[in-house]
Amino acid sequence: MAGMIGKVALITGAGSGIGRATAEAFAARGDTVVLAGRRTEPLATLVSEIVARGGAATFVETDVSVAKDAEQMVAHTLTTFGRLDYAVNCAGIEGRMLSVADSPEQEWERVIDVNLKGTFFCMKYESRAMLDAQRGGAIVNVGSINSFLGFPRGSAYSASKHGLIGLTTSASAELASHGIRVNIVCPGIIDTPMHRRLRGSLGDAQYDTVLQQRVHSKRAGRPEEIAQAIVFLCSDNASYITGTTLTPDGGFALTR
């Protein structure tokens, strides 16, 4: 760790994709970052890169679907840096693409446990830390275009992402009077490892057809573009924004 401790941002799912880009965006503007995820190697690598650039960073191995892990993640943040100002709940999995009729209960539960219950666990301890400190803060959850739109063989994923909107708006209603803002970002098609796996499942031709027919910008987004939206929602420039949904999706058409 290096550098002065200013505002502290905790990012789950920070090992790759949007989570990693978000950690880099916070660090680039001088914030201290805590990286959380299940795979420690990419977290340790990113910490080393941030510290080498003069920033302050640490990581904590975390499975957000385990309540104790979420609690320890926040405790690690407070023990290491003494405060928590921003929390970005980005950890998520897509699960196997299966029809409703063919989905095993265990597969459904695995996706819900990580994407929805895991975000609840994180918010429980993140908000408690912010409330105890009485200095306010900002929480951003990461949903998806599938927070509004289902897709074939994606019932568990879509249900988990739909649920995040209700979780976000309810928490906002509870926490706004304490100076804690809670919002959700719902990205469209973004060039991340998850979407590359989806491309592999669908095939290049079908994937590119979706981009051309459904996305006004005719391209996938970049993780750093979503990261900037998240950082904005945490910043003082978004001081009157809470309980809302921001959709950086390149103009994704919900209907054809």
Q: What is the DSSP string of 94-130?
A: ----B-TTT--HHHHHHHHIIIIIHHHHHHHHHHHHH
Q: Which residue has the tokens 């976000």?
A: 168
Active site residue 157: yes
The DSSP symbol for 22 reads H
Q: Is the dihedral of CA 160, 162, 165, 171 positive or negative?
A: negative
Give CA 35 to chain center in angstroms.
Answer: 12
- Identified catalytic residue from 86, 125, 157, 207: 157
Q: What is the DSSP string of 46-94?
A: HHHHHHHTT--EEEEE--TTSHHHHHHHHHHHHHHHS---EEEE-----
Instruction: Give the active site residues.
Output: 157
